[in-house]
């Protein structure tokens, strides 16, 4: 029998966290909190610099109107993304926001960490956003159990080279790392780099099994399939 992995690499959306969390919680929160945040913090240097960038992008428009328009259009523009990041940070830090985790996730992560497994995150959300989500999660502050956080600074999630870079960054042979994701193309890329793979197929997220990777409905099933300790 193959030895169990020594490191678990985790995707977030669709794996640890509901896909809807970003769309139904984070984005509406930033929209609702925009005016209050700008009233309270508009003079902070970081916020003032963002507002100057907004004015430069749309000089004929009130910057708050520009920001609301960008939110409605879901525009991928840096000043909006930077401001949303600051609003989310404030929301997490004062307890109005909590990072969503499916109920099976934190107990398994804690059991795996206690058993000496290394845990790392690879998400298209930025490393600071990953730290906020796990640092202010519904299951408390989990950042201490992770030994690495990776975002698309290492490369795209559908690119095999990204997974080789992460394995090198963790100083581990690729075969010792188990990558968990809901997206088959990400798992294909990880497998091409030599990582082990398991697809999270969560009914609540509407994930379709690919048939190309081991499949698990939750982290308890991941533990059973891959010889990992279970909580309790
Ligand atoms: Mg995902």
Summarised one tens digit per residue, pLDDT across range 60-99 is 999 999 999 999 998 989 999 899 999 999 999 999 999 9
pLDDT band for position 153 (50/70/90)? very high
CA of 69 to the centre of ligand 1 (A): 28
The CATH architecture assigned to 7-17+99-226 reads 3-Layer(aba) Sandwich (3.40)
CA of 31 to the centre of ligand 1 (A): 24
What does the mean pLDDT of the chain come to? Answer: 96
Distance CA 80, CA 174 (A): 37
In CATH terms, is domain 22-93 a member of 1.10.720?
Answer: yes
The secondary element (H helix, E strand) that includes residue 90 is: helix 78-93
Residue 18 pLDDT more than 80? yes
pLDDT (tens digit, 9 = 90+) per residue, 42-61? Answer: 999 999 999 999 999 999 99
Q: Quote the ligand 1 centre to 230 CA distance (angstroms).
A: 23
Domain map (residue ranges) of the chain: 7-17+99-226, 22-93
Query: Residue 198 above 70 pLDDT?
Result: yes
User: Going by DSSP bridges, is the β-strand pair 7-10/177-181 parallel, antiparallel, or unpaired?
Assistant: parallel
Chain position carrying tokens 């640890």: 16
Ligand 1 centroid to Cα of residue 180, in Å, is 9
Ligand 1: centre distance to CA 34 (Å):
27
Cα–ligand 1 centroid distance for 182 (angstroms): 5
pLDDT at 1 over 80: no
The answer to pTM > 0.75 is yes
Mean pLDDT of the 152-159 span: 96
Asked whether the beta carbons of 97 and 88 are under 8 A apart, the reply is yes
- CA 63 / ligand 1 centre spacing (Å): 33
């Amino acid at each position: 029998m193959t030895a169990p992995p020594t490191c678990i690499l985790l995707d977030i959306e669709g794996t640890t966290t509901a896909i809807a969390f970003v769309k139904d919680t984070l984005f509406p929160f930033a929209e609702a909190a925009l005016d209050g945040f700008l009233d309270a913090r508009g003079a902070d240097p970081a916020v003032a610099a963002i507002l100057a960038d907004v004015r430069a992008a749309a000089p004929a428009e009130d910057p708050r109107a520009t920001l609301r328009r960008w939110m409605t259009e879901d525009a991928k523009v840096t000043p909006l993304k930077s401001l949303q990041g600051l609003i989310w940070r404030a929301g997490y830090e004062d307890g109005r926001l909590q990072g969503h985790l499916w109920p099976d996730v934190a107990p398994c992560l804690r059991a795996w960490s206690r058993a000496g497994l290394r845990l790392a995150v690879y998400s298209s959300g930025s490393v600071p956003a990953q730290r906020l989500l796990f640092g202010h999660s519904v299951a408390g502050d989990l950042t201490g159990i992770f030994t690495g956080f990776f975002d698309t600074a290492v490369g795209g999630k559908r690119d095999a080279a990204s997974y080789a870079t992460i394995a090198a960054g963790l100083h581990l042979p690729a075969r010792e790392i188990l990558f968990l994701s809901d997206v088959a193309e990400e798992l294909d890329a990880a497998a091409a780099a030599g990582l082990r793979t398991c697809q999270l197929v969560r009914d609540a997220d509407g994930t379709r099994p690919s048939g190309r990777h081991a499949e698990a409905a939750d982290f308890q099933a991941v533990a059973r399939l891959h010889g990992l300790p279970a909580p309790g």
